[in-house]
Structure 1
Amino acid sequence: MGRRFVILSAAMGAGHDTVAAELARRLSDRGHLTQTIDVLDLLPVRLGTALRGCYAATIRHAPFVYDAIYQAYFMSSPPGQGRPNLDTSPVVVPAARALRRRLAADPPDALVSTFHLGAQIGGRLRDEGALRVPSVVVITDFAVHRQWLHPGNDIHLCPTPQTAEDVRRGGGRRALAVGPVVPEAFHTPSRPARVGAFAREFAARGPGRVPVLLSTGAWGLGSQLAETAALLSGHGWLPVVMCGRGRALRRRLQRVSGAVALGWVSDVPALMSAVGVLVMNAAGQTAAQALAAGVPVVSYRPIAGHGVHSARGMAEAGLCAYARSPRELLQALSDLGCDGPVRQARIDAGRALFTADAVDIVATAAREGAPVRDRVPGGPG
């Protein structure tokens, strides 16, 4: 008999929703029922809409302000010197109250969070005894900030062994390194027809040049993207920029000689199969998808706050090159853009992350029930 799962996400960009949708798909394929809730919709008087707009505007126009907020409210204490995080955000209480009312009539068998506010809400409800089923947190960042941590949560599913270790040292009850959650299409070869369409376009636009994919996230965010595209084009690469929903950004990139500016791409697995390297700016879902697809990753000019934090986490784990200057970017592309031991080692490190299916653990937690957090102590991920 199928069970019911409630997934907490947030439309802050597309990354958290992408993970939530993949979890829901896998659970549905196994005969379970799922409901996905945007935690920002739980906030009163359209506060969630205001927070989303404020975040987008701040990270686009005043990144130094966002970085200051991130340092103050998100960064953890040094390992071993902090304590589990308890509701430091003022929006947790009203959101938790709203979710409690929603779940009262039809309680799920497990609560799953793919956004840090969801982790805070689930942990609070578990601590209060208002949630009597397991609360599972699926961490989508490559570096853990303290808003992901609440001692009430039962399990944290992490993208890397280092993030699992950071969760345990930060007070998480149980942390397992299972790898990022990405659609199966990124793990398997794409249809030749779709890859061929991209490959033919790239060959026509830059004959003999290796396509380098520049990611800007769903909102088309980034620093000096036109300058970066011009730099790559001027040194013999073919910059292919995913502009997301950033129409102004796409128009600006279309004026860069030798660059390919793409709008919203629906078949990202095929696009990944047609490029040589990903240059990322946020260490988000596009980076995770590249690791699954066997595309080496370079971080360059990451966005403020979580972008810098996660990019450093990826670099420290040996999952990407962190270029801090145009010279370092060109050197990283030279190392990773052509077949050889350096490129293969980076590809192997990325694919080695995917050790388990997060849904297996989520389903087991639901089957065993809430006492799972007391019966199963935290251990190595």
Structure 2
Amino acid sequence: MKMNEKDKILILSAGFGDGHKQVANAIGEAVELSLPNVEPINLDIMEWLHPHLYPLSTFVYKRVIKNFPQFYSYLYKRTRERNPLSIKLHTLFTLGMGSMLEIIREINPTAVVSTYPFAAGIMSKLKEQGLIDIPIVTVITDFTDHSYWLHPYTDQYIVGSEEVMQRLISLGIDSEKINYTGIPVRPKFTTSQPRELLARKYDLDPNQFTILIMGGGDGFIGKGVSTFQSLEQLPSGTQFIIICGRNKKLRKQLEEELKGTKHTFRIMGYCENVQELMAVSDLMISKPGGVTTSEAMAMELPLFIYRPLPGQEEDNARYLVKLGLAILVENEHDLVCKIGMALSDEQILKSMKQRSRIYQNKTSAIEALNVVVRSINRMKKERSYSYDRIQVNEVDLPAYLPLTAEHSYRN
């Protein structure tokens, strides 16, 4: 990796779920847009440290989640608090400190941001052993906490909710290290989109009620087509967009099974412009990943949560439902009933939109970047010798994106 002379911020993620990388991309784009003298370096830590094991480990992870959810739930709950089991498993998952140190020395970043828990653990251990002396910042990508995110030598935490902030304080983390910015989302999810133009682009009727279904090829969509067949009970005039991700087999199956339906279905594979599909939709049905739900909130798109995975997604679901940001759907019958209620009572979705305006933060990526900048400048002041490599100021928030009252106390 031959680097140029620009100052660098290293952003570590991993492909175990798309959310970690999306947050890394959001912060990287914020750097590119706001700090011309700084270069963001995005790195999939697991792919880099374990190139031969990585494909197998991601395959096993997805299969365990899909086929043995209760086992995953057990491990998640047993390791939520720091204990001998969590320490042993964390030690296993954070192998590769030597290789990570080589990367740090080669890139020579001014700060490291981790959007993946085991990357945060490796960075903390390197700092604990005195092998690095740069700010390390951790972005928690769900609306919940877990021991794998929390490490003694982390300089700053970025969290998505006040609930997580208070939870970290109760665990003994200094409040000055915790920054409630919301989960960072990419700029394309924070700007308005013209519904009529987008509807024509995707061959949709802009006047029809539109439902976006995102579950991924390995999510609830992959469990069969009975869910979509049950939607035939809904009145005519509803159109659906189904995103199958990279699961080509599922996409082909749905295209065959949904022929002749009375509804309009647009079945799509992996999509780079999800924000356009959100903008043209009236309702989204999805699993409650922290990043996906944050993107929907930024787009003010009401959310139905369907079949959350055990562990962090169950925690996310509880948080979103408690604040009135989403409705939990229990099964296929419940799904049809609640969509029918939303179609007949516009106040249901209107209320969720209003709640989204309160809890969303369109400047989350910029605010997260400012946490990193403050960490760099704080370290400059604390050092007894001259440190001139990076000279940056905090990034101004766009004037058209004022903070809500709920966010006014942020560090």
TM-score (norm 1): 0.84
Distance (Å, rounded) in 1 between the aligned partners of 2:183 and 2:319: 14
CA distance in 2, matches of 1:187, 1:335: 29
Instruction: Give the whole-Å Cα distance in 1 for the aligned partners of 2:351 and 2:215.
Output: 26
After superposition, residues 67-146 of structure 1 pair within 5 angstroms as 67-73=73-79, 75-76=80-81, 88-146=89-147
* 2:25–2:186 CA contact under 8 A, matched in 1: no
Which residue of 21, 40, 51 maps to 2:46? 40
* Contact 1:86–1:150, Cα closer than 8 Å, also in 2: no
User: d(CA) in 1 for partners of 2:239 and 2:344?
Assistant: 14
One-letter amino acid of the counterpart of residue 320, structure 1? A
- Within 1, Cα distance between the matches of 2:107 and 2:186? 29
Letter in 2 for 1:182: V
Counterparts of 1:13 and 1:330, CA distance in 2 = 28
Match of 1:367 among 365, 371, 377: 377
Paired with 1:264 and 1:317, the residues of 2 have a C-alpha distance of 30
Residues 181 and 410, structure 2, Cα contact 8 Å, conserved in 1: no
Decide which of 298, 323, 329 is 1:323's aligned counterpart: 329
State the Cα deviation string for residues 72-115 of structure 1 (Å, max 9, x = none): 33x347xxxx89x7674133442333211221244311110111
1:17 aligns to what?
21
Of 313, 317, 327 in structure 2, the residue corresponding to residue 311 of structure 1 is 317
> Which residue of 1 is the match for residue 219 of structure 2?
221
The question of whether the paired residues in 2 share the 8 Å contact of 1:211 and 1:274 is answered with yes
Is the 8 Å Cα contact of residues 222 and 303 (structure 1) preserved in structure 2? no
Going from structure 1 to structure 2, the CA distance change for 1:93 and 1:138 (only over 3 Å counts) comes to closer
The alpha-carbon distance between structure 1 residues 260 and 171, as it changes in their structure 2 partners (threshold 3 A), is: farther
CA drift at 1:339: 7.6
The DSSP-based 3-state class of the residue aligned with 1:132 is coil
Q: State how far apart, in whole Å, the 2-side matches of 1:182 and 1:63 are.
A: 28
Q: Which amino acid aligns with 2:169?
A: R
CA drift at 1:330:
3.8
Gaps of 5+ in 2: 383-408
Which of 315, 327, 350 is the aligned partner of 1:344? 350
Report the Cα offset of residue 221 of structure 1.
Answer: 2.0
Give the letter aligned to residue 287 of structure 1: T
Q: Partners of 1:45 and 1:180 in 2: how far apart?
A: 28
Q: Which amino acid aligns with 2:19?
A: G
Runs of 4+ aligned structure 1 residues displaced above 4 Å come to 85-88, 191-194, 334-341
Contact persistence 1:20–1:114 (CA under 8 A): yes
Q: Please name the residue that 1:248 is paired with.
A: 249
Match of 1:232 in 2: 231
- Please report how far the alpha carbon of residue 48 of structure 1 lies from its aligned counterpart in structure 2 after TM superposition: 2.8
3-state DSSP class of the match of 1:252? helix
Q: Is the 8 A contact 1:5 1:35 kept in 2?
A: yes
Sort the Cα spacing of 1:330 and 1:192 in 2 relative to 1 into closer, same or farther, 3 A: closer
Distance 1:93 1:59, change over 3 A: closer
Q: Shift in Å at residue 338 of structure 1?
A: 7.0
Secondary structure at 1:302 match in 2: coil
Equivalent residue for 1:202? 204
Distance in 2 separating the partners of 1:337 and 1:142: 29
Counterpart Cα distance in 1 of 2:62 and 2:129: 33
- Contact 1:39–1:117 (CA under 8 A) maintained in structure 2: no
8 A contact 1:165–1:175 mirrored in 2: no
> How many Å apart are 1:341 and its aligned residue?
4.2
Contact persistence 1:134–1:370 (CA under 8 A): no
Q: d(CA) in 1 for partners of 2:343 and 2:171?
A: 37
How far off is 1:180 after superposition? 2.0
Identity %: 21
- The whole-number CA distance in structure 2 between the counterparts of 1:336 and 1:121 is 46
Structure 1: unaligned runs, 5 residues or longer: 373-378
Q: TM-score, normalised by structure 2?
A: 0.79
Q: Cα distance 1:337–1:46, how it changes in 2: closer, same or farther (>3 A)? A: farther
Q: How many residues align?
A: 364
For 1:55, the equivalent position in structure 2 comes to 61
C-alpha RMSD over aligned residues: 3.0
Name the aligned partner's letter for residue 346 of structure 1: M
